[in-house]
Amino acid sequence: MKRVRILPLVLLAVLAVGAVAGGQPAMAEEQPLVVGVRDDIVNFGFLNETTGKYYGLEIDLAKELAARLDRKGVEFVTVTPTTREDVLQNGEADCLIACYSIDDEREELFDFSAPYYTDDTVFMVQTSSCFKQWMDLGGMTVGVLAGSNTGDLVAKTMKKYSHKGVELQEEDTYQELSDALERGDVDAVCMDGCIAQAYMNEDRAYLPGSLATQYYGVATQKGSELSEQVAAAMDEMLADGTVDRYIDKWD
C-alpha cells in the first residue's frame, strides 16, 4: 500500500464541543461518530455479511478517529460513489472515510483532512488484448465506476492522445466492471490501483503508467466545527505514525 508521510506539525488540541439539542446541552462526546464507509473494497472498507462487521484500513481509521475525538464509539453507514456525497450533505454521516479522493471540485463542496493514502489510477486489460499502453485505447470502450471521478479523467486525458477519444461504460459496482471486462463488453477498465488488485488474475495485466494520482482524505461538511477537529486529529495520526501502522496492517 502507498502511504502519505508528513513532517511533524504543531498539532491543535482536539476538543469535543457541545451542541444544543431540544433546548438541552448535548455534548458531542456523548454521541457516536457516524462515518460513511465502503463495504465492497477489500483491505479498505469491507462488510462481512456473515458477521455483520466491517473490516479494513478505513474502518480502523474511523475507530481511531472516533476515539481521538472522545466520541462514544463509531457507527458505520455504507455509502457508494453515487450516494456518498448526498449522505454527507444530508447529515446522515458526520464524515466520509470511503476511498474518497480530494480534487478541486469536491473541495468546493466539502472540507478535507490531510490525505491519509495515495494511489494511482490504472487501466486493466485482458492479457489476450493487443493493447500495450493506455494511449492505445483511442476509440475503444473503457469501463468506469458510476459516480466516481474516473470517467472524467479518462475522457479528458484520452482527448489529448487520440482524436477518437473513448467510449465510457459505467457500472454500479467493481464486480460488474470486472465481469464486463471478462465478457469483452469493455476493452479496458479504469480504477484506483488499490481496488484493481482485488480483481487482478493471471489473465489480466495493467497497462504501464498511471492516469492520475489520487489522494484519499476524510471529508466533512463545509465550514463545520467538526472539520477543524477531524483535521487536527488526522494530522496527529499522520505525525505519530498511526496511519502508517494501519497501512502496514492491511498491506
pLDDT, one tens digit per residue, over 58-88 is 999 999 999 999 999 999 999 999 999 999 9
| Lowest-pLDDT range of 8-12, 107-111, 142-146, 246-250 | 8-12
In the chain, DSSP assigns E strands to 18-21, 24-27, 33-37, 40-41, 45-48, 53-55, 74-78, 95-96, 110-112, 117-126, 141-145, 167-171, 188-192, 204-206, 212-216, 219-221
Quote the CA–CA distance of 226 and 230 in Å, as a whole number. Answer: 6
DSSP per-residue string spanning 43-84: TTEEEETTTTEEESHHHHHHHHHHHHTT-S-EEEEE--TTTH
Residues 6+ apart with CB under 8 A from 65: 33, 35, 74, 95, 97, 218, 230, 233, 234, 237
Tell me: pLDDT of 132 over 60: yes
Q: What is the pLDDT, as a whole number, of residue 46? A: 96
Residue carrying the nine cell digits 466492471: 177
- pLDDT tens for 149-188 read 999 999 998 888 888 889 999 999 999 999 999 999 999 9
Quote the CA–CA distance of 246 and 97 in Å, as a whole number. Answer: 14
Q: What is the pLDDT, as a whole number, of residue 2? A: 62
Tell me: pLDDT of 1 over 80: no
Question: What pTM value is reported for the model?
Answer: 0.85
* Phi and psi torsions of 32, nearest 5°: -70, 155
Q: What percent of the chain has pLDDT over 90?
A: 80
Q: How distant, in Å, are the alpha carbons of 45, 98, 143 from that of 56?
A: 5, 11, 25
Tell me: pLDDT of 206 over 80: yes
Average of pLDDT values for 114-126?
Answer: 97
- pLDDT tens for 6-51 read 444 434 343 344 443 333 334 566 899 999 999 999 999 999 999 9
- pLDDT tens for 100-110 read 999 999 999 99
Domains in the chain, start-ordered, CATH in brackets?
A: 18-116+217-250 (3.40.190.10), 119-213 (3.40.190.10)
Q: What is the pLDDT, as a whole number, of residue 29? A: 65
